[in-house]
Structure formats: structure tokens, C-alpha cells
Amino acid sequence: MAGGYLAGRMRQPSFDANGEERRVRDAIHGLLVWATGALLITIVATSSLFGAAKTAAHGVANAGSGVASLVSQNADPLAMALDNVMRANGQQPPTAQERDEASRIFVSALANGKIEQGDRDYLASRLAARSGISEQDAQKRIDDAYARLSQAKETAKQAAERARKIAVLTAFLTAAALLVGAAAASWAATLGGEHRDENLRIEPTP
């Protein structure tokens, strides 16, 4: 509003136009001030975001501590579930092939919404033979792991939905703020033009 008012107040008077034409020209000058300000704010905001992202990336790259690595590994719910299922209890640990097979079974179960009974029985028998536990205990491990994975999947879906809603709301509020700013700058420029014309001093012609 301040920029629009100054643009209208300081604009060169148009003696060859009527009142309506002067108001239109003043409003356009106000819109130009608003557009320039919006562009500058966008540039500054974008530069700040890129600077913050660059700083954060630099910090992450330099933080090669064991704690950061451990947190990164534990962030994978599938890997954690497989670790819990494949515990060997002092027996021979499962091979990489068996772990990959179990991973594919769990991924397929999550995609289908349930773990097939045949896959469950097969995985339980292999786990019982490898880890030295009963099939009932193996099936319980599998059920518990699948329940945790399902919960993690639901949590991720809820987080994605919240992020989508926040993005939509942010976009709407940004557009609304821009429209209000454009209208305010245009109105203030028109007001400034009216004050300019009211205080215009016209010298008499000789």
C-alpha cells in the first residue's frame, strides 16, 4: 500500500486525460510497484532457501559420526523388521539370499494388504529351521513384524496426506496474499493520485 500510494502521488500528472483515465494510470503504476516488490521478495526468499539447504547439506556431509550413521540405518522400518524376524538366537545366521527372500515376501504383503498363508508358513518353516525356534514362535515373529510394517506404512500415508494438505493451504494463502497485495497497491496508488490532483497547483497562463 505504501509503495502504491507513493507511486500514485509521485507520478507525473496527466493533463491530457480525464479523471477516470488518471485513476486507471495511477492504478497501473500501483500494480507495477506491487509486481516489482513481489518479484524481489521471491528472489530473496528463494536465495534464502537455497542458502539454508546448502548449509544443511554441507553440515550433513561433514557429520560422519557413528551416531548419524546408526540413526540413518534405523530409519528403515523394513530393515528393522527383518532384523527382528531373522534373529538367529545363537544358531547359524540367515544368509543374504534368505533375507532378500523374506524382504520380497513382506513387500508383496504390504502391497496386497495381507500376508498370504502359504508365504507365512514357508517363511516360518525356514526361520524355524535356521534359528532353532519353533514354528509357532517363528509365525509370531512374522506376524509382529508385519504388524509393525503395516503401522509404519499407515504412519507414512498420514504424514504424506498432512504434507499435501499443508502444501495446498500454503499455496492458497500465498495466492490470496498476492491478490490482496495487488488490490491494496492499486487502491493506494489511486488514492495517492487523487491527493496529488487535489494539491496540484496550476499556474495561470499569461
Specify whether the CB–CB gap between 34 and 2 falls below 8 A. no
Lowest mean pLDDT among 9-13, 14-18, 151-155: 14-18
Residue 202 has pLDDT above 80, yes or no: no
Helix, strand or coil for residue 110? helix
pTM, 2 dp:
0.52
189 vs 183: CA distance, rounded Å: 10
Residue 70 has pLDDT above 50, yes or no: no
103 vs 193: CA distance, rounded Å: 71
Any idea where the domains of the chain sit in the sequence? 2-65+179-198, 70-156
Helix, strand or coil for residue 166? helix
Backbone φ and ψ of 198, nearest 5°:
-65, -35
112 vs 102: CA distance, rounded Å: 15
Residue 107 has pLDDT above 60, yes or no: yes
Counting beta carbons within 10 angstroms of the beta carbon of residue 93, is it exposed (0 to 12), middle (13 to 18) or buried (19 or more)?
A: middle
149 vs 83: CA distance, rounded Å: 13
Radius of gyration of the chain (CA): 33
DSSP-derived secondary structure letter, 18: -
Residue 203 has pLDDT above 70, yes or no: no
169 vs 161: CA distance, rounded Å: 12
Tell me the residue length of the chain: 206
The predicted structure's pLDDT at residue 110:
82
The predicted structure's pLDDT at residue 53:
58
The predicted structure's pLDDT at residue 165:
92
The overall average pLDDT reported for the chain is 77
- How wide is the angle at C-alpha 149 spanned by C-alphas 145 and 155, nearest 5°? 145
Residue pLDDT, tens place only, 141-159: 888 888 888 888 888 889 8
Hunting for cell 514357508 — which residue is that? 122
Hunting for cell 499455496 — which residue is that? 171
